[in-house]
């Protein structure tokens, strides 16, 4: 991992990551930056001089995780370890973290990671409390040439940070700041560099990739998101390109056209709907109606390749009636999603919905969540069964030793566990005959 030679006196750090893919990728950049600063990454808190948590605050449960961790490790502070909180909880709670967990020395939001080396110098010089909160003035993305990617075959590239949509329930605009796109030239340069290093799959990341706006170049030459997607897909050596997350308001037909035109673009779109009721969508400030969402689904269903569609749903938003909830269930039937990530509404600091009336009691939220997941399980059972008897190409991702199976991922983003007479190489692409199905995965045999 580190190119810096190891020695006993070398400073060590432990980093644990919570939350979304943006956070996972931020952590890869933080690791690269720290290694460049002479630190060595270790696997346990016990071994580390510096203990960092990259945190998520999307729901209350996610936020509590970091405080539980910090409480667990309080005893280590006496041993001289330094604790730091990074990411969305850091940005949201700011200096309040020092009050709640006085043994924390570093609080740094994602918009300030550029300043991390400087902050570490201050800590090493003995400063007790260092903060990096909100660096929106510089209006830049956190990019570093030292990204320490954890997987040698597929990797993330950030194309846009922040979010300007301000959905009524969401902390992201407050924790990650306003939208900043990277130039298409720098995205493509990084993608080419990754292809040269042997990466074959690239996932373009952003809170809302569809509102990507190329900040440089002559107006006519600036790439739209769909053009950028296609350009990454045309880089020699790249076999799969994915992107997440999309917002239905900004999701254009040109993306479906790009998927049709460029075979390396994966036939999978994650398009969060949140609710099937236009009334609730309006209260959520989602800026689209049920009908407009279904129009986008119709574009995808008319594509030349079958596009797998997945979504996010929130149940129990304030004021959500039985009738609204039934509309969401009905939408699941109508679309036929390949996966649904469903959540109970969680009131978040700073968000407009925090003060909305007609809160849904927690047990009712839990009931709706259960009903929704049972319905989606039925839908997926039928959808996954259809693959039996077909042949899929997978990227070989891991071996499950306990089950003596290999784990692959299809272009549709489905997990396909398979047996193989000869040992496939991790990161290679293989043809697999599908022989069985479950609601969340497929089963198969490697084609010899």
List, as one string, the DSSP characters of 302-333: TSSSPPEEEEEEEE--TT--HHHHHHHHHHHH
Residue 175 interacts with, from ligand 5AD, ligand SF4, none (CB under 5-8 Å by kind): ligand SF4
Q: Which does 209 bind (CB under 5 to 8 A by kind): ligand 5AD, ligand SF4, none?
A: none
CB of 238 or CB of 314, closer to ligand 5AD: 314
Q: Which of 379, 304, 370, 301 is nearest to 339 (CA)?
A: 379
- Count the residues of the shown chain that bind ligand 5AD, applying the rule CB under 6 A: 12
Contacts with ligand SF4 by CB under 6 A lie at 19-20, 22-23, 56-58, 87-88, 171-172, 175-176
In the complex with ligand 5AD, the residue whose CB is nearer, 51 or 62, is 62
Q: Classify burial at 225, counting beta carbons within 10 Å of its beta carbon; exposed 0-12, middle 13-18, buried 19 or more.
A: buried
Q: Which region among 31-39, 213-221, 327-335, 343-351 touches ligand 5AD (by CB under 6 A)?
A: 343-351
Task: Give the residue carrying structure tokens 């469903």.
Answer: 342
The token duo for 68 is: 């539980």
* Smallest distance, ligand 5AD to C-beta of residue 401, A: 32
Q: Stretches 30-38, 345-353, 367-375, 433-441: which one binds ligand 5AD (CB under 6 A)?
A: 345-353
Q: Binder to ligand 5AD among 89, 101, 163, 170 (CB under 6 A)?
A: 170
> How is residue 439 annotated by DSSP?
S
State the sign of the Cα–Cα–Cα–Cα dihedral 132, 134, 139, 143: positive
Residue 56 binding target from ligand 5AD, ligand SF4, none, CB below 5 to 8 Å by type: ligand SF4
169 lies in the binding site for ligand 5AD (CB under 6 A): yes
Q: How far is the CB of 175 from ligand SF4 (least distance, A)?
A: 5
Q: Are 39 and 3 in contact (CB under 8 A)?
A: no
272 touches ligand 5AD by CB under 6 A? yes
345 lies in the binding site for ligand 5AD (CB under 6 A): yes
Contact 62, 343 (CB under 8 A): no
Asked if residue 120 lies in contact with residue 82, where contact means CB atoms within 8 angstroms, the answer is: no
The residue within the footprint of ligand 5AD, chosen from 343, 367, 388, 399 (CB under 6 A), is 343
Compute the distance between CA of residue 42 and CA of residue 14 in angstroms, rounded to an integer: 5
CA neighbor of 156 nearest in space, from 209, 111, 217, 117: 209
| Nearest residue (CB) to ligand 5AD, 147 versus 175 | 175
Binding site for ligand 5AD (CB under 6 A): 58-59, 169-170, 272, 274, 312, 314, 343, 345-346, 348
């Amino acid at each position: 991992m580190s190119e810096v030679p190891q020695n006993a006196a070398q400073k060590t750090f432990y980093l644990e990551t919570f939350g979304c893919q943006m956070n996972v990728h931020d952590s890869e950049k933080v690791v690269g930056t720290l290694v460049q600063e002479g630190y060595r990454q270790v696997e346990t808190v016990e071994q580390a001089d510096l203990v960092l948590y990259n945190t998520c605050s999307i729901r209350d449960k996610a936020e509590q995780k970091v405080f539980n961790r910090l409480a667990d490790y309080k005893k280590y502070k006496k041993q001289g370890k330094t604790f730091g909180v990074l990411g969305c909880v850091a940005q949201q709670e700011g200096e309040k973290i020092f009050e709640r967990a006085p043994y924390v020395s570093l609080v740094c939001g994602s918009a300030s990671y550029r300043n991390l080396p400087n902050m570490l110098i201050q800590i090493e010089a003995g400063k007790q409390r260092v903060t990096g909160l909100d660096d929106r003035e510089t209006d830049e993305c956190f990019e570093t040439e030292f990204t320490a990617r954890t997987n040698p075959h597929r990797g993330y590239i950030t194309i846009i940070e922040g979010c300007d949509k301000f959905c009524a329930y969401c902390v992201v605009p407050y924790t990650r700041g306003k939208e900043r796109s990277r130039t298409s030239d720098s995205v493509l340069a990084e993608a080419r560099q990754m292809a040269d290093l042997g990466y074959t799959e690239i996932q373009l990341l952003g809170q809302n990739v569809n509102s990507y706006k190329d900040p440089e170049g002559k107006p006519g030459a600036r790439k739209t998101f769909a053009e950028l997607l296609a350009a990454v897909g045309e880089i020699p050596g790249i076999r799969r390109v994915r992107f997440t997350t999309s917002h239905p308001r900004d999701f254009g037909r040109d993306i479906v056209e790009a998927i049709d035109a460029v075979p390396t673009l994966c036939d999978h779109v994650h398009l969060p709907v949140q609710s099937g009721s236009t009334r609730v969508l309006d209260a959520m400030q989602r800026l689209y109606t049920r009908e407009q969402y279904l129009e986008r689904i119709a574009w995808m269903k008319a594509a030349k390749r079958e596009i797998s569609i997945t979504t996010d749903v929130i149940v129990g938003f304030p004021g959500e009636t039985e009738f609204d909830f039934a509309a969401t269930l009905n939408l699941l039937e109508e679309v036929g999603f390949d996966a649904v990530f469903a959540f109970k509404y969680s009131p978040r600091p700073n968000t407009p919905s925090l003060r909305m009336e007609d809160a849904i009691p927690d047990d009712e939220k839990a009931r709706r969540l259960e009903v929704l997941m049972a319905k989606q399980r039925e839908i997926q059972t039928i959808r996954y069964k259809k693959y039996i008897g077909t042949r899929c190409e997978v990227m070989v991702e891991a071996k499950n030793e306990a089950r003596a199976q290999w784990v692959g991922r299809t272009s549709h983003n489905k997990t396909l566990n398979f047996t193989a007479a000869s040992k496939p190489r991790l990161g290679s692409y293989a043809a697999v005959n599908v022989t069985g199905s479950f609601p969340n995965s497929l089963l198969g045999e490697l084609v010899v």
